[in-house]
Each structure stands twice: as C-alpha cells, then as structure tokens.
Structure 1
C-alpha cells in the first residue's frame, strides 16, 4: 500500500492501468481529449503489480483498474470518473494538469 500512496502523491493525475483493459484505454482517451497526460502505471508490467492491486482494493477501488487519482485523492474507476465528467466536476479537478485548452 505504501508504494501506491507514494506514487499517487508524487504526480497530479495518476492512472493505474493494465494494457489489456479496455476501460483503462477509454480513460486514457478521455484524458487525452481533455488535454491531460496522466502518469500511467501499468500494473501488469510491474513486478509488484499483485501487491498494488491488493492495495488499490483496500483503498476502496471496486476493481483494481482503472484506478484514477487526482492530487493524491482516489477518484475511482471508470464509472466514478464518467459520472464526475458528465456532472461537470472532472474538468475543474484536471484544469491544473491540462497541457492544451
């Protein structure tokens, strides 16, 4: 859990992902369209991936990926991110990390 906490506190927008996950890909595309390049950790490529998955679940993720953190705070998975986006709450959180308007 310490590794997840450290990784999420070091960068503004963080995505824990797996290369084979279509929902992870969808979040990456959404962020790209919003002009944000999150720090992506592909946990299926990390030797500590299993431990990271367990830590994400303990933190409250319904599924280990995608898991989105902004400013060190767990936003959630695809459902939570899309709900936040549709209600207009995601963009203000991501504004400091946008690279384009």
Structure 2
C-alpha cells in the first residue's frame, strides 16, 4: 500500500470514531439492509433517537465502510456505538438486548432516561 493510501485510511478511521463519539447512540447503516432496519427499529421502540449514518447515502460512504471493517466491524453494518464505544453489530446488539445490558449502557450514555 502506498503511504498516501494508508494515511487516507487512517484519517477516515479517525473521522468515523469522531462521528461515533458526537452522540449518545450512533449507527452506521445502509438504507437497503434489513438487519440495519431491525436494529434502528429496536432503538426507536425503546425511545432512543440514534444518529444514523446511511453509508450508501454518504459522499464518502465506501471509505467509511472500509474504515469500519478495519476497526473490527464485521459485517460492516450495522455498526453500533453507544457513548462513543463500539458495542458491535446486529448479533452483539441483540445479545445485549436479551441479557438486559443494552438498557444499562443506554442509560449510562444518557440516551435513555427511564
């Protein structure tokens, strides 16, 4: 890889992490992904209003998706961050929901008040 390409990848990773830290709940998604839709709905139904970045609608969506993969998001979407911390993809979020941990995380991040 060229130095310019690597530098560009690292810059995009930094940008993705900055976006993820700007709100209590951030979801990187694709508008055509059914699992993304299900995860967003899970949050909405709990009264949480996540910030959603639809990668297929973003100018640098492909680069953002590559950055998410490099950060360990596999599959790359949905990638869910709570309180600036990557909590996982759909499987991880559903597991946290089922064991009750998700609600605690949301309260700690200030995304849920009840």
Q: TM-score range by the shorter chain?
A: over 0.9
Q: Confirm whether residue 27 of structure 1 aligns to residue 35 of structure 2.
A: no
TM-score (norm 1): 0.94
Aligned length: 100
Superposition CA RMSD, Å = 1.1
Per-residue deviation, residues 29-65 of structure 1 (Å, max 9, x unmatched): 1001111010000111111111100110111111111
Higher relative contact order (CA 8 A, sep 6+): 1
Q: What is the aligned counterpart of 1:50 among 45, 55, 62?
A: 62
**Stretches of structure 1 lacking an aligned partner (at least 5 in a row):** none
Per the normalisation by structure 2, the TM-score is 0.84
In structure 2, stretches of 5+ residues that fail to align are 1-12
Instruction: Tell me which structure has the larger Cα radius of gyration.
Output: 2
- Deviation >6 Å, runs of 4+: none
Asked whether 1:41 is paired with 2:53, we answer yes
Per the TM alignment, residue 98 of structure 1 is displaced from its structure 2 partner at its CA by 2.3
Which residue of the other structure, out of 65, 74, 83, is the alignment partner of 1:62? 74
Does 2:40 align with 1:2?
no
